[in-house]
Amino acid sequence: MAERLILGQILAFDRDPFAGDPAGAARHETRGAVLVEGGTIRAVGPARALRAAHPGAVVEDMGDRLISPGFIDAHVHYAQTGIVASWGRRLIDWLQTYTFPEELGFADEGRAAGTAALYLDLALANGITSMATYGTVHATSVEAFFAAAARRGLRAWAGKTCMDRNAPAGLTDSADAAYAESKRLIAAWHGRGRLGYAITPRFAPTSTPAQLAALGTLWAEHPDCLVQSHLSEQTEELAWVARLFPAARDYLDAYEAAGLVGPGAVFGHAIHLTPRERARLAETGAAVAHCPTSNLFIGSGLCDVAGLAALGIPVGLGTDTGGGSSFSMLRTMAAAYEVGQLRGRALHPAELWWLATAGAARSLGAETRIGRLAPGIEADLVALDLASTPAIAQRAARAGDIWEALFPTIMMGDDRAIAAVWIAGERRR
Ligand code: GUN
Ligand code: ZN
């Protein structure tokens, strides 16, 4: 198979930047190269050395653009694309006013297919090459998404959103139907190409204990699937969970009692956690998707993502679109920085970049497949223009090192910074 060399600036992480000096977690090559063969990264290093060692490789020279792993969105609702940036509500009200009416429309297959294509085009334009998305209650919403992701060759996870209470009639299933339909979707799609299934109880308030238990049984039968749900996002929601699950020690316990907490479970938000919940997430190996634009937009609160990472909890970044207000992982990193500042902990650019790439991959149990520039990792890549607007360019021109050069793009960048995208080694944009 033909070898290809993609030349540009390279930033390759050797370790988790939360686990030590963040600036020392990655190697920077001002003139580097990524050797790609058959959809996989074969080597990463200085351009001169790799060109000499692989004289027959086809060269794609991206100049001084930064070659990075594609961004990974650890938590998104593709079906909410049409209601992004809806004004004036907090979580429960927002769900009832905007989200549930929108999701009712996904009974229509054409609507699901059209939105999946629209969403994936927006994601790719923003350099997002993998994602874990919620569907709606309708199995067709997941089938439409998987078909669209497969056409684009993406590594992606999705699941039918299960709800058997506290939602409109057209959006509810039952414990048995959630189990059976999810199981059928697993048989049809899980492990097909680059696709994976995520068992998806929406959140504790919209599932009975019986439905959560049925999905826990399903996970035990298919332990290589992900589980995704929401955890401790907004204070009104916490009070609701306490009323609905009087026997549970806390919010996480509602999931734990059903067998839904462990490695491969990824919980969105995780803001208002008790010490027990933090400890249990760490002990069980469950992951957290930090969704800062959403947490600011819906007014949920400030997640202690650095504190969770320090406990060893796998943490990744999620747009949570349409509760999140942007399709851009750059904008999402910027919001994570702002949330950190409000908590008194400025996240380093290395930490922000990690959350959007290798950290997100780890949170989805895919760290050996995606999210890093390293031999054997799938070649989902982006090339970033670190001077994509005049405002960014003039600031980046003063940078003393790569982190200073990167930070203006993190804080002010958008899809204009995404100069190229490769999926499994194929140039897609
Ligand atoms: N909690 C339950 N459902 C949702 C959702 O769709 N978005 C967000 N942000 N939180 C939720
Ligand atoms: Zn969400």
Q: Which tokens belong to 45? A: 């290093």
Expressed in angstroms and rounded, the spacing between residue 323 Cα and the centre of ligand 1 is 7
Cis peptide before 56 (omega within 30 of 0): no
**What local confidence, expressed as pLDDT, does residue 278 receive?**
98
Q: What CATH number did the domain enclosing 44 receive?
A: 2.30.40.10
The reply to whether 233 and 340 lie within a common domain is yes
Closest CA to 157 of 127, 122, 200, 125: 200
Closest CA to 252 of 283, 220, 292, 218: 283
The reply to whether 90 and 47 lie within a common domain is no
The reply to whether 245 and 331 lie within a common domain is yes
The reply to whether 78 and 110 lie within a common domain is yes
**What local confidence, expressed as pLDDT, does residue 418 receive?**
98
Last residue in a domain, options 363, 380, 403? 363
> Which ligand sits closest to the CA of 319?
2
Domain count, the chain: 2
State how far the Cα of 62 lies from the Cα of 372, in Å rounded to an integer: 19
Non-local (6+) Cβ contacts of 427 within 8 A are 60, 420, 421
The reply to whether 214 and 247 lie within a common domain is yes
State how far the Cα of 60 lies from the Cα of 50, in Å rounded to an integer: 13
Non-local (6+) Cβ contacts of 20 within 8 A are none
User: Which domain range does residue 29 map to?
Assistant: 4-70+372-427
**What local confidence, expressed as pLDDT, does residue 233 receive?**
98
**180 φψ region: left (φ > 0), alpha (ψ -120 to 50), beta (else):** alpha
The reply to whether 103 and 243 lie within a common domain is yes
Low-confidence ranges of the chain (pLDDT < 70): 1
How far CA 353 is from CA of 52, 230, 238, 292, in Å, comes to 30, 23, 31, 14
In this structure, how many other beta carbons lie within 10 angstroms of the beta carbon of residue 410?
24
**Nearest residue (CA) to ligand 1, atom 7:** 323
The reply to whether 138 and 15 lie within a common domain is no
Closest ligand 1 atom number to CA of residue 298: 9
| pTM, two decimal places | 0.99
Q: What CATH number did the domain enclosing 200 receive?
A: 3.20.20.140
Last residue in a domain, options 339, 363, 387? 363
Closest CA to 152 of 118, 184, 182: 118
The reply to whether 326 and 204 lie within a common domain is yes
**What local confidence, expressed as pLDDT, does residue 349 receive?**
98
The reply to whether 213 and 123 lie within a common domain is yes
**What local confidence, expressed as pLDDT, does residue 106 receive?**
98
The reply to whether 137 and 201 lie within a common domain is yes
Last residue in a domain, options 363, 382, 413? 363
**What local confidence, expressed as pLDDT, does residue 250 receive?**
98
Expressed in angstroms and rounded, the spacing between residue 75 Cα and the centre of ligand 1 is 10
The reply to whether 245 and 386 lie within a common domain is no
**Nearest residue (CA) to ligand 1, atom 3:** 202
DSSP character at residue 338? H
Q: Is the alpha carbon torsion for 55, 370, 149, 86 positive or negative?
A: negative
> Which ligand sits closest to the CA of 84?
1
CA atoms within 13 A on the CB side of 423: 22
Helix axis angle for 109-125 and 139-151, nearest 10°, is 40
Q: Is the alpha carbon torsion for 338, 339, 343, 347 positive or negative?
A: negative
**Nearest residue (CA) to ligand 1, atom 11:** 230
The reply to whether 178 and 252 lie within a common domain is yes
